[in-house]
Amino acid sequence: MRTIRTLLLALLALAALPALAADEARLRIEEWTVPWPDTRPRDPYRAPDGQVWFVGQVGHYVARLDPASGRFRRYDLPAGTGPHTVVVDEQGRPWYAGNLARHIGRIDPESGALTRFEMPEGADDPHSMAFDGRGGLWFTVQAGNRIGRLVMETGEVRVVSVPTPAARPYGIVVDPEGRPWVALFGTNQLATVDPKTFAISEIALPRADARPRRIGRTRDGRIWYVDHAQGYLGAHSPADGSVREWKLPSERSAPYAMAVDDRDRIWVFETGSRPNRVLGFDPASERFFASAEVPSGGGTVRHAVFQGGVVWFGSDAGTIGRVHLPD
C-alpha cells in the first residue's frame, strides 16, 4: 500500500511540472545521506584534495565528505554557533561563518583546532562568504545590514553599512578585480562595494517586487541572480547598467540555490516545487535546456557551487549531493 501511495505521489508531482522540451537534457544526481539527522547540512565546498566540506547549521558542526569512499568526518563547534556557509582556502583550511555567534572561524583539518575572528559591533550575524583572491574573505551580514571583508592573515575586519534599511545582504560573489557583488534579499536591489574605498553602490532591479537571493557571475562580466519571490532568473550588466530577466518554468518556482559552470551555463534550484528541481539555463540560446528532480526531495536546497566539473549542493532532506552536467 505504501509503495502504491508513493508511486501516486510521484506521478502527481510529475504531472504538476511544466511540459519539457523534447530535446531537454536529463541530469544525473548523486546524494550521500549525512549520518547526523536533522542538522540541516548545507553549503558544500570542494577542497583542493577533492574532499567536500559543509556545515550542519542546526547541528553546530563543520564536516567533510570523501566522495570516493562515502566517509564523513565531523568537527564539532561550540553550542550555539549556528554555522552558515563554509569555504576552503588554497591550503585546504575551511572557513565558516558563525552566524549565531558573531565570528568567522577557521579550522585546522588535521588537528581540528579552531581559530576565531570576532566581528565588530553591529556585524552580529555573518552569513555568506567568498574569497577575493587577494588574501581577503568578503562576507554578508543579513540582519546587521552590512557587507564586510576579513583579511585572512591578520584577522582585521572592515564592514560597511548598506544605505537601504533592512536590505538583508545575502548571496555574494567576487569578480576578478576583487569587487564583491551582493543580492539584497530584503529589497529589489543588488549592491557592490569598491574594494579600495569601501564605497557601496546599490543597483535597482526593474520589478519592485523582486527579491534577489543568490548570485553568480559569468565571464562576460554579467551578474546573475535568482528572484526568490516571483520566480525569475536575471542578469545585470555592469558595463551598461542593463538588466534582463527570464521567467522560470514552474508556477511555484521559489528559486534559491544557483551556480555558474565553466561554460557560463546557469544552474538553478527551484524550491517551491516538491520535490525540489534543478534547471539548466543557457545564456547563449536563452533557454532552459536541462532539468531533474532532487532524488531525496531536497526539502530546501539553499546553496550550490560548481567545482570539479559538477554542481555540489546540500539539502534540508539531510543529504550532500552533486549534479552531473551534460556536455
Instruction: Tell me which residues of the chain have a pLDDT lower than 50.
Output: 1-20, 22
Backbone angles phi, psi at 266, to 5 degrees: -105, 135
Tell me what pLDDT residue 23 has.
Answer: 59
Tell me what pLDDT residue 25 has.
Answer: 82
Domain definitions of the chain by residue range: 2-324
Show Cβ contacts of residue 238 under 8 Å, excluding neighbours closer than 6 positions.
192, 221, 222, 223
What is the reported pTM? Answer: 0.92
**Residue 10 and residue 13: Cα distance in Å, rounded?**
5
pLDDT tens digits, 124-135: 999 999 999 999
Tell me what pLDDT residue 26 has.
Answer: 87
Residue with cell 588535521: 110
Beta strand 94-98 pairing with 83-88: antiparallel
* 255 neighbors 211 (Cβ within 8 angstroms): no
**Residue 100 and residue 90: Cα distance in Å, rounded?**
26
Tell me what pLDDT residue 4 has.
Answer: 28
Tell me what pLDDT residue 261 has.
Answer: 98
- Fold of the domain spanning 2-324: Methylamine Dehydrogenase; Chain H (2.130.10)
Left (φ > 0), alpha (ψ -120 to 50) or beta: where does 241 sit?
Answer: left
Beta strand 277-282 pairing with 287-293: antiparallel
